[in-house]
Each structure stands twice: as C-alpha cells, then as structure tokens.
Amino acid sequence: MPIKQWIASETGAKAEQVAKGYLIDQGLGFITENFRCKAGEIDLIFKDMQQFVFVEVKYRETDSHGSAAHMFTRAKRRKLERAIMCYLQALDLNLHHTSLRIDLIAIDKQNINWIQNV
C-alpha cells in the first residue's frame, strides 16, 4: 500500500474512533463499525432507541479543498444506501419495516459537526 494511502487510512480510522466516542457520549447505542459488503462500506452503525443509525464519517485537516461535510456527495450517499441494503439483508430485515436514518459526522480540524438525517 502506498504510504500516502496508508496515512489516509490511519487518519480515517482515528476520525472514526473520535466519531464513535462522540456518538456514544450523545447516548446512541453502538452496534458495529466498518461493515463491508460488495456494495460498499458503512463506517459506523448505532441504534437510537429503536432506530438504526448509519453513520458516514468525513475528516478534513484543512478546508483548502472544501469542508468535511462537502465530501459527502450524492454518489457516496448512493453507495452507502446500497451497503445499508446489504446490512439489512444480512439481518433479514425489511427496508420498508425498519426504522433507520443516515447521519454524517463531519470533522474539520478539531470541530465535530453531527448532521442527522442527511
């Protein structure tokens, strides 16, 4: 793995751990992290009462190429939605009968922005 890619994945993993701790502190129940399937990956999965919360974590050290929140594109959302379908199928849950939402944790430098229902 090229060094630049390795550094990026290490930074991403650290940002995910910060986001995980933050959401636990907010009262969400942690389920799992880095769920992978053929369709894509889900960074973090929580439960908020009876609702599944699928969390995408974005981190930017500088805003020279845009904020972390701007990195969550339509294409990324579609890929995340396909991964969510895989997760629900793995648990034998029906999308239409399962309460869920997609949240974004955008970390810019030291600021955490939790955007619910993106």
The pLDDT value given to residue 4: 41
Burial 59-70 (b: 16+ CB within 10 A, else e): bbeeeeeebbbe
Residue in this structure with the two tokens 């399937």, named with its chain if needed: 37
Angle at 10 between CA 55 and CA 109, to 5 degrees: 70
In order along its 118 residues, the chain shows pLDDT tens digits of 443 443 355 677 889 999 999 999 999 999 999 999 999 999 999 999 999 999 999 998 766 567 888 889 999 999 999 999 999 999 999 988 999 999 999 998 778 999 999 9
The CATH-assigned architecture of domain 3-115 is 3-Layer(aba) Sandwich (3.40)
Selection from 102, 97, 96 nearest residue 42 by Cα: 102
The pLDDT value given to residue 71: 87
Helix residue ranges, H only, the chain: 3-25, 74-90
The pLDDT value given to residue 64: 59
Domain ranges for the chain: 3-115
